[in-house]
């Protein structure tokens, strides 16, 4: 389904990003794995992806750093020669109630979750336009759609990502680049492993499907949006939340 394509995936060493990288590799895409610090985990994803007879390489990058992102994108283009798919998945959370939230808590989350996506879109927009069928997929969150107590910073960044998605979709549509967002709900990852008992009880009472999602639930949609079958879908935000936000 993605044979001959090259995909750049940020935050690809674990969780949702890891699942997306492996799903796209399974579908035939060469993979650029962007990670922030865990080189061993990134290399593990690389080895697993290469089992699908594709090319995979790992790149360390602080996605919030504009200049560093530019350098990494140039290196990826040098290595792969072209880029067809960009998945902006890198994200962090610094959860606390508004009254306790520091300026650093807010800035760090928005810098990684929102500015990080801008940086990669900015630096890869031209090669994506040259692709003739470029795909940008931004991993937002249901928190960006309905809000969530304790996540003023995270919700704001993820809501901003939805606005960015719509604008980029309009700006790049003439070059046959689509841009869509995925809004996961409660997904079983490292980020949700430390949920309180109250939050875990909410899964049974607040989610119609009464379970957490898996990274593969998100990865399956990402692979579809990256494919030719999704060539007429752009500017959309699709929830993968078990019905939480409906």
- Catalytic residue chosen out of the listed positions 35, 59, 154, 232: 154
Q: Is 154 a catalytic residue?
A: yes
- By C-alpha distance, which of 222, 127, 218 is closest to 177? 127
Element (H, E) at 204: helix 197-206
Neighbours of 176 (CB within 10 A): 15
| Tokens describing residue 179 | 């841009």
Q: What is the dihedral of CA 128, 129, 133, 134, to 10 degrees?
A: 30
SS3 content of the chain, % helix, strand, coil (to 5): 50, 15, 35
Residues assigned a catalytic role:
154
């Amino acid at each position: 389904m993605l044979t001959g394509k090259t995909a750049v995936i940020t935050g690809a060493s674990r969780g949702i990003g890891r699942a997306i990288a492996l799903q796209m590799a399974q579908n035939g895409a060469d993979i650029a794995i962007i990670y922030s610090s865990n080189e061993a985990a990134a290399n593990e994803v690389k080895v697993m992806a290469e089992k699908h007879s594709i090319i995979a390489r790992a790149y360390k990058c602080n996605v919030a750093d504009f200049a560093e992102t530019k350098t990494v994108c140039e290196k990826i283009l040098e290595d792969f020669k072209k880029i067809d798919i960009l998945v902006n998945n890198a994200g962090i959370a610094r959860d606390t109630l508004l009254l306790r939230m520091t300026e650093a808590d807010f800035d760090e989350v928005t810098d990684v979750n929102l500015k990080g996506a801008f940086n990669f879109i900015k630096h890869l927009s031209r090669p994506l336009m040259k692709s003739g069928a470029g795909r940008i997929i931004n991993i937002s969150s249901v928190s960006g759609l309905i809000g969530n107590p304790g996540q003023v910073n995270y919700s704001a960044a993820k809501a901003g990502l939805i606005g960015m998605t719509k604008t980029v979709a309009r700006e790049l549509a003439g070059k046959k680049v689509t841009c869509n967002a995925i809004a996961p709900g409660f997904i079983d990852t490292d980020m949700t492993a430390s949920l309180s008992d109250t939050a875990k009880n909410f899964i049974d009472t607040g989610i119609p499907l009464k379970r957490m999602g898996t990274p593969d639930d998100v990865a399956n949609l990402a692979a579809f949006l990256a494919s030719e079958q999704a060539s007429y879908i752009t500017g959309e935000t699709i929830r993968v939340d078990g019905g939480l936000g409906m």
